[in-house]
Amino acid sequence: MANLELRAQRRAVLGKKVRFLRRDGLVPASLYGPGLTSMALQLPARETEAAMRRISSSTLVPLVMDGEPTRRVLVREVQRHPTGEQVLHLDLFAVSMNETMRTPVSLAFLGEAPAVKQLEGTLIHNLDAVEVEALPDDLPGRLEVDLSGLETLHSTIHVRDLVAPERVTILTPPETVIVSVAAPRLVTAEEQPTEAEAAEAAPATEEGEAETSG
């Protein structure tokens, strides 16, 4: 992605004191990877939160640091404030560009299922990502799932139906269901209100209306 990068500095503040970094507009982070000694980092909060809106679990992002070579990293874990989108901490994984790696890739659902629109079925999502193996440069940003083939009730799309780019191996079992269409739920006779229950409900409604109008 054009102009997408993360800028960081080495971090001296550790432990519980990192809350002061957040107060000063900085996000604490940890950097690790093969052959790399783990580093404590800090990133500008506003820039980082804007970048995170464009980053998925399989997005390779340049990590720019003063006095350090630019590294390609994956965002392995994001801790957010429980009541908002504020980023509290990042785990960054520095990849080796010459070694295959395993990582989840998000699924993008495209189109509309005819069985939902025409037959009033319910779309059931079972997966939002699959695990893949590839060289870092071959990792797809997402894999597309075309819903237009779901034409009948109980129709399904499995992992085996996904089309992966060349040099990308999907590791999630092929028989795993990604999405399916459930039939409309029918109200059984036991769930139908009896005449007595309907009669009880009617006076209560009328009384409520009378009190409201009064």
| Cβ-defined contacts of 1-4 (< 8 Å, 24+) | 1/54, 1/59, 4/51, 4/54, 4/55, 4/59, 4/61, 4/62
Q: Name 109's Cβ contacts closer than 8 Å, sequence gap at least 6.
A: 125, 145, 147, 179
| Rounded alpha-carbon distances, angstroms, from residue 64 to 10, 94, 200 | 11, 12, 70
- The HSE-up count of residue 100 (CA atoms within 13 Å, CB side) is 10
Length of the chain: 214
What integer pLDDT is reported at residue 203 of this predicted model? 52
| Sequence ranges of the domains in the chain | 6-94, 101-182
As a whole number of angstroms, the distance between CA 43 and CA 108 comes to: 29
Q: What is the fold, at CATH topology level, of the domain defined by 101-182?
A: RNA Polymerase Alpha Subunit; Chain A, domain 2 (2.170.120)
3-class secondary-structure state, position 18: helix
As a whole number of angstroms, the distance between CA 43 and CA 47 comes to: 8
Contact 179, 145 (CB under 8 A): yes
109-123 confidence digits (pLDDT tens): 999 999 999 999 999
What integer pLDDT is reported at residue 200 of this predicted model? 63
User: Got the DSSP string for 119-168?
Assistant: T--EEEE--SEEEEEE-GGG--S-EEEEGGG--STT-EEEGGG--PPTT-
CA angle 46, 50, 51 (to 5 degrees): 115
Q: What is the fold, at CATH topology level, of the domain defined by 6-94?
A: Ribosomal Protein L25; Chain P (2.40.240)
Report the Cα 147 to chain-centroid distance in Å.
18
What integer pLDDT is reported at residue 196 of this predicted model? 60
8-state DSSP, 15: G
What integer pLDDT is reported at residue 187 of this predicted model? 53
40-85 confidence digits (pLDDT tens): 999 999 999 999 999 988 999 999 998 899 999 999 999 998 887 7
pLDDT block averages, 10 residues each, the chain of length 214? 85 85 92 93 94 91 93 94 88 94 95 94 96 95 95 97 96 98 73 61 50 46
Which residues lie across from 42 on neighbouring strands?
9, 28
Single out the residue of 58, 59, 133, 75 nearest to residue 102, CA to CA.
Answer: 133
